[in-house]
């Protein structure tokens, strides 16, 4: 079927049509023509919006649903619909379900559940069996089944020798190893950032040291072993500096930051809102300033929604007993545009593709059509009606956001937001 996109401003630095308002003709999922005005025959669908912008389809490197095991939090089907409505044509799905994604059968199951969705689901395999941190999982078999990286979601690799062996072994098939940045013995039972606010609120704190020490250890191991390491969701100023130095020294390391850690400080915890209980915890204004600078200069490779649905029974409880996590897909674009220029926002929403060895579909004639459509100028208050997830645990509720997703085009189909 032919699809005609009318008067869209192309936002793609790699495209010869970057920053130009053009019509785009798509036939069977392939871009046939890009021109200022196209009059085509037999067009099955025309896509036209006011202030229409288009970029390559966005990718999120850290998304959690619930299925299998926690379908009451989120199913794969509805989670992928939420991702599509949020502008993402690809997501990396964390292995923190039940059973854990620690074998090729589990990877194949997740991929099969997404076959009919316009959003591509890329499983992250668990680094260890059952994510227990004891025995290494079947990394090669999972990669052959479609896993794009390996890590125990929100669980640190406590055994340094296990990380060493994993980095050495994964080099045999160019595997990407993830290590969550937290030294558990220092973090203890903390639930918020260790700072004056944690003292004021009477809550146990997680010191920045817990993150920075773990990152330093992991980078020493990476220097010894070689290989590829990804550090998901860093949150402190010193972490940015440690990774910046490691990159300058030639280590093959990448990192991400969660969008909520770029926008909120631990001061939002004054009302004990459990939606703001996230891991790593919300830090300080100084940390946010350094994180934003790290995104701008490329030290931080990508941002992630770190989308984590939690049902009401595990959020509307005492703060210490609430689960960590917030929704993030639906608010990702609007929150980022509050902080960065449109050019930077699109860059960081695409950057994960190259690191995870996924295709990059430049907007040019002859390329596969993999698009996100959006209006970068709409301002609105993020409300409950903007949440498409089954769970409703969003720290962004009530925030003024900028930028609306209009839809995606992927796998030959248009999906409206």
- Distance set, CA 198 to CA 27, 87, 190, 223 (Å): 57, 36, 10, 35
| Element housing 296 (H / E) | helix 285-297
CB count within 10 Å of CB 37 equals 8
Catalytic residue among 218, 301, 306, 386: 306
Instruction: State phi, psi for 410 to the nearest 5 degrees.
Output: -155, 150
Rounded Cα distance between 12 and 367, Å, is 13
Indicate the Cα dihedral angle 240, 243, 244, 249, nearest 10°.
Answer: 170
User: Where do we find the tokens 């970029």?
Assistant: 55
User: Which segments within 152-295 are labelled E, that is strand?
Assistant: 176-178, 192-193, 205-206, 228-231, 253-258
Instruction: Using only the alpha carbons of the chain, give its radius of gyration.
Output: 21
User: Which segments within 214-359 are labelled E, that is strand?
Assistant: 228-231, 253-258, 302-304
Joined tokens for residue 408: 């995606």
The answer to whether 135 is a known catalytic residue is: no
Burial zone of 385 (CB within 10 Å; 0-12 exposed, 13-18 middle, 19+ buried): exposed
Residues carrying an active site annotation: 306
């Amino acid at each position: 079927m032919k699809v005609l996109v009318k008067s869209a401003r192309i936002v793609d630095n790699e495209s010869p049509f970057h920053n130009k308002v053009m019509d785009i003709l798509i036939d069977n999922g392939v871009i046939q023509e890009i021109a200022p005005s196209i009059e085509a025959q037999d067009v099955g669908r025309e896509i036209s919006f006011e202030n229409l912008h288009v970029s390559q389809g966005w990718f999120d490197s850290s998304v959690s649903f619930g299925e299998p095991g926690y379908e009451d939090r989120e199913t794969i089907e509805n989670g992928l619909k939420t991702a599509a409505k949020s502008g993402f044509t690809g997501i990396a799905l964390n292995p923190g379900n039940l059973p854990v994604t620690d074998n090729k059968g589990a990877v194949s199951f997740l991929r099969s559940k997404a076959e009919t969705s316009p959003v591509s689901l890329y499983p992250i395999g668990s680094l260890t069996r059952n994510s227990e941190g004891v025995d290494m999982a079947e990394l090669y078999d999972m990669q052959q089944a479609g896993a794009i990286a390996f890590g125990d979601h929100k669980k640190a690799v406590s055994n340094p020798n296990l990380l060493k062996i994993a980095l050495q072994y994964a080099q045999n098939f160019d595997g990407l190893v993830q290590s969550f940045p937290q030294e558990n013995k220092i973090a203890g039972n903390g639930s918020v950032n260790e700072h004056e606010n944690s003292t004021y609120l009477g809550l146990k704190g997680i010191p920045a040291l817990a993150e920075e020490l773990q990152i330093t250890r992991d980078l020493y191991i990476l220097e010894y072993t070689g290989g590829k390491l990804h550090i998901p969701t860093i949150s402190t100023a010193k972490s940015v500096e440690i990774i910046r130095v490691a990159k300058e020294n030639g280590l093959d390391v990448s990192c991400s930051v969660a969008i909520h850690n770029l926008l909120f400080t631990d001061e939002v915890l004054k009302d004990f809102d459990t939606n703001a209980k996230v891991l790593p915890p919300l830090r300080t204004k100084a940390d946010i300033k350094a994180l934003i600078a790290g995104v701008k200069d490329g030290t931080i490779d990508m941002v992630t929604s770190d989308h984590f649905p939690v049902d009401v029974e595990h959020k509307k409880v005492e703060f210490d007993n609430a689960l960590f996590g917030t929704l993030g897909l639906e608010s990702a674009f609007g929150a980022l545009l509050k902080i960065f220029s449109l050019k930077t926002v699109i860059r960081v929403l695409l950057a994960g593709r190259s690191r995870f060895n996924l295709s990059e579909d430049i907007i040019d004639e002859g390329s596969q059509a993999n698009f996100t459509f959006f209006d970068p100028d709409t301002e609105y208050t993020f409300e409950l009606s903007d949440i498409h997830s089954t769970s409703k645990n969003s720290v962004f509720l009530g925030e003024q956001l900028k930028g609306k997703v209009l839809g995606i085009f992927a796998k030959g189909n248009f999906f409206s937001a």
